[in-house]
Every structure is written in C-alpha cells, then in structure tokens.
Amino acid sequence: MADQLQKKPIETAASRRLASRFLAERAARVAVLADWIAGFGEFEDAACDRRAVRAAAWFQDAWCVGDARVEGPSAPVVLAVQPTDFQRERAADIAAESLADIVDAGTLTTAARAIREAGAHETNVPEAVILREATNLDSIGPLWLWGQVARCAAEDRPVASVVAVWERHVEYDYWAKRISETLRFKRSRELAHHRCRTMDAYFLALRDQLTGADRHVAPEAHD
C-alpha cells in the first residue's frame, strides 16, 4: 500500500493530511466509484476532468480533520451525516493548500469547486455531479451501519437503537425514497438497491441475537 501511494501524489498528500486510515479507505472507495460513474453514458459528451474528480474524492472529507488540540468528530460519522456548506468550504481550502504543488491550477480549481458544489442537488458541474453521486452511493448499504455505530458510541445509545432505526426505515420504505432522491443515474440506483437488500438478513440476525430469539437453533438435547 505504501509503495502504491508513493506513485500517486494526490493519494499520498491526502492520506498524510487526513491522518486517518478510515478516512483514507473511504476516500479510495469514493474515488473508485467516481471513476466508474464518470464512465457512464450520461457523461460521454461531457468535458470532465477525471483527475480533478479523484482529487475531490480524496479531500472532500478533510473537514473532519480538526485541530490536534481540539477533539473533532469521529471519522466514521462521515457515513451518517452530510457536511455543511462551511465544512465543504473548509475541505476545499485544505485540498487547495495540500495540492498546490501537485496538480495544475485548472485541475485544482475544478477539484475545489466540485467539493463545494457536491452538496447542491441542482448542480450541473460534471465533476460535482459525479462526486455527489459517488459519495451518496458509498453511504448506502452495509457501510451505513458504521456511521450509525459511530453515532451510537458518541451518544451512548444501545445497539438496539440502530435496529430500531433500520426497522423504521423498512416500515416507511426509506431506502427506496433515499435512492430515488439522492442518486441520479440508473446504474447507481441498481447497485444501491442491491446493497440495501444485503442488509436485511444481517439486521434480522442482529435483532434475534439482541433478544435471544435465535436460541431455537440450539435446542436441548434429549437422549
């Protein structure tokens, strides 16, 4: 991994600034998703700077990195919250500072703009659209649980509260609505629906373990 980063200056600079293996892993996932989305037919005629998209993907969560003297938010929380405009601006500024000597001025400007505008549903900036799509897709599915666990730990809530959230989501068809509202493209939505389906069996098993309802699999032996 270290050798790979040495060959990729954007990733190396971001990893050093993020100083978090969790955030670096998340950035790498979003970057891969963004590159996949950039290849969709919808962007066939768009003038998209893929290097800017990659830079934006690696730095968009930099707002989560606080002053070492001040306790900042837990890194996994990025999976459960949407950053504010101020936080996006901070991440863009950190990207500009960290990449000033690594990418050309045009790419840097585009990357910063993508980070700032990724929160706007109505944006038509290709790089921002791709970043927004990739980020929203990353937060849907099994990884959603990690953000919820982080919030539970921060608020001292029991595991059962996460199960309760999942049950409400199922009852009110939350995931279908979220996918429809936050993802623009058919292929993204198809992958998101697949990822949501994989959560059902896990949460049913988690609920059974919390309540002891799974004890029937080990019945008393009778000679």
Assess whether pLDDT exceeds 80 at residue 223.
no
User: Considering only CA atoms, which of 165, 174, 147, 166 is closest in space to residue 79?
Assistant: 147
The DSSP secondary-structure symbol of 172 reads T
Angle of helix 186-211 relative to helix 174-182, nearest 10 degrees, comes to 150
Dist. CA 129–CA 126, nearest whole Å = 5
Contact between 213 and 160 (Cβ < 8 Å): no
With a pLDDT cut of 70, the percent of the chain lying above it is 92
The pLDDT value given to residue 147: 82
Location of structure tokens 């623009």: 184
- Average pLDDT in the 54-79 region? 74
N residues, the chain: 223
Assess whether pLDDT exceeds 60 at residue 69.
no
Q: What tens digit of pLDDT does each residue of 28-49 get?
A: 999 999 999 999 999 999 889 9
Dist. CA 146–CA 126, nearest whole Å = 29
Assess whether pLDDT exceeds 60 at residue 220.
yes
The pLDDT value given to residue 139: 92
Dist. CA 63–CA 180, nearest whole Å = 27
Average pLDDT, the chain: 89
Assess whether pLDDT exceeds 70 at residue 5.
no
- Average pLDDT in the 78-107 region? 92
User: Considering only CA atoms, which of 112, 128, 109 is closest in space to residue 120?
Assistant: 128
Dist. CA 207–CA 213, nearest whole Å = 8
User: Considering only CA atoms, which of 105, 28, 37 is closest in space to residue 59?
Assistant: 28
With a pLDDT cut of 90, the percent of the chain lying above it is 72
Q: Which two tokens stand for residue 74?
A: 């837990």
Assess whether pLDDT exceeds 80 at residue 80.
no
The model's confidence at residue 3, banded by pLDDT at 50, 70 and 90, is very low
Assess whether pLDDT exceeds 80 at residue 174.
yes
pTM score: 0.88
The C-alpha angle with vertex 158 and arms to 153 and 159, in degrees rounded to 5, equals 90
Counting Cα atoms < 13 Å in the Cβ hemisphere of 36 gives 15
Lowest model confidence (mean pLDDT) among 84-98, 105-119, 149-163, 190-204: 149-163
- Average pLDDT in the 145-152 region? 83
Q: What tens digit of pLDDT does each residue of 107-148 get?
A: 999 999 999 999 998 899 999 999 999 999 999 999 888 888
- CA 150, 153, 154, 156 torsion: positive or negative? positive
